[in-house]
Amino acid sequence: MTDPRPWGELDLAPGASTDLTIGTLHLTVKRTPTEIWLRSERGERTDEDHDDWERWSVPDDARVHLRPAAPDRLLVVSHEYPFHLPGRRKARVFVRLPVFAQVVLTSPEIDDVVALDEPSLVLSDTWWGNIREGELAYWLTTKARAEVSDELFVPHMAMCPVQLENESGEALPVDKFSVRGLHLSLFRAGPRIWTDEVKVTYLAAEEGSDIRFGKRPPVEQPDAQPISEPRVALRRGLQARTFDRLRSFSVLGG
Partner 1 sequence: MPLFALAFAFQEPAPGAVTSVLGALPVGTTLRGLIMVLVGAPLVFLAARGAKAWMTSRMHPQAGLVAGKIVLYGGLIIVAVSTLRELGFSLAPLLGAAGILGIALGFASQTSVSNVISGLFLIAERPFVVDDLIEVGDVKGRVISIDTLSVQLRTFDNRMVRIPNETLVKSQMINVTRFPVRRVDVRLGVAYKEDPSRIREMLLDVARKNPMCLMEPAPIVVFEGFGASSIDFLFGVWATQQNFLQLKTSIHQDIKARFDAEGVEIPFPHRTLYVGSQSDPFPVRMVGTAPAEPDVSPPSHDSAP
Query: Could you tell me the smallest distance in angstroms from the CB atom of residue 111 to partner 1?
Result: 29
> Is residue 123 a contact residue for partner 1 (CB under 8 A)?
yes
> Is residue 147 a contact residue for partner 1 (CB under 8 A)?
no
Instruction: Give the Cα-Cα-Cα angle 110, 183, 3 (nearest 5 degrees).
Output: 70
Q: Are 211 and 230 in contact (CB under 8 A)?
A: no
Query: Could you tell me the smallest distance in angstroms from the CB atom of residue 125 to partner 1?
Result: 5
Select the residue interacting with partner 1 from 115, 127, 163, 240 (CB under 8 A): 127
Select the residue interacting with partner 1 from 17, 34, 57, 124 (CB under 8 A): 124
> Is residue 122 a contact residue for partner 1 (CB under 8 A)?
yes
Which CB, 132 or 236, lies closer to partner 1? 132
> Is residue 136 a contact residue for partner 1 (CB under 8 A)?
yes
C-alpha pair distances (Å), 59 with each of 29, 62, 102, 103: 16, 5, 19, 16
Q: Given the rule CB under 8 A, which residues bind partner 1?
A: 76, 78, 122-129, 131-134, 136, 139, 245-246, 249-252, 254
